Amino acid sequence: MDDHSLDRVKQVFEQWSLYDLIIHHNYMRHTQLVTCLNEFVKQTEIRRKVIDLGCGDAWMAKHIFQDMVVESYLGVDLSDTALQEAADQLTDWTSAQQFRQGDIAEVLAETPANSANTALASYSLHHFHDDQKLILLDQIHRILEKDGQFLWIDLARIAPQTRDQYVDEMANHIRHDWQALRESQNEQAVQHVLESDFPATEAWMLEHTPQVGLQLDRCLFRDEYFGAWVFAKHDD
């Protein structure tokens, strides 16, 4: 993302109240996502060392890892407002939690190899173009320990749907179905999607993750707009 794109995204998520409403009304399927991801992580006894890329207010992380042992948690986000909400939200993990305000790409590049066993990217990577996503995926593989997991929740296209078709359909969906937003908030959400969202196709995601050493474990959720996949790093 260039500086202009980062500024535009940061501006939207500095006003956390809009996205808070989206979570509250389950417009991006947060309820279903935390249910299936929490079920999945509960199946293992792993003491989680989590890096949360684009953590927002950490609502997702809090609910996915509730009742788990979280040995460490690093939340990364552009938005100071979101990070403040995250710090208020994660009171249970006080000793384990850290936050970094900054660009995911820069923080990942500075993060030591093999330093996390769980990378969560929930609704953040679609702000990057596919060539940039590939660099991020490679970095995610580098920072994960052997057998570490990458939990990827995101907007995802269904081939042969183009980026323009996807964002136009999403814009119509928001205008018609996200009724709890005020008109100005609704239009802000639409503008954000049209300007700043670059979802990959699911086929691209599944083709490029193994190329960087991340093997698909399972798909936990999929509808026409959103999905959640678990990948694992099995090599060293």
Contacts with ligand SAM, residue ranges (CB under 6 A): 1, 6, 9, 13, 19, 54-56, 59-60, 76-79, 82, 103-104, 122-124, 127
Residue number of the CB closest to ligand SAM reads 56
CB of 19 to ligand SAM, least distance (A): 6
Residue 159: other Cβ atoms inside 10 A: 10
Sequence-distant (≥ 6) Cβ neighbours of residue 210 within 8 angstroms: 216
Could you list the beta-strand ranges (E) of the chain.
48-53, 70-77, 97-101, 116-122, 144-155, 214-222, 226-233
Decide: 21 and 181 in contact? Cβ < 8 Å: yes
Distance CA 99, CA 77 (A): 8
Distances (CA, A) of 213 to 143, 153, 156, 207: 12, 18, 21, 11
Decide: 214 and 229 in contact? Cβ < 8 Å: no
The structure tokens listed for 75 are 């939340």
Angle CA(197)–CA(190)–CA(200) in degrees, nearest 5? 20
CB of 41 to ligand SAM, least distance (A): 15
Nearer to ligand SAM, 103 or 202 (CB): 103
Nearer to ligand SAM, 59 or 198 (CB): 59
Nearer to ligand SAM, 41 or 210 (CB): 41
CB of 3 to ligand SAM, least distance (A): 11
CB of 120 to ligand SAM, least distance (A): 8
Nearer to ligand SAM, 60 or 116 (CB): 60
How would you classify the pairing of strands 214-222 and 97-101?
unpaired
CB of 207 to ligand SAM, least distance (A): 23
Nearer to ligand SAM, 1 or 214 (CB): 1
Nearer to ligand SAM, 146 or 222 (CB): 222
CB of 11 to ligand SAM, least distance (A): 10
Tokens 């694992």: give the residue.
Answer: 232
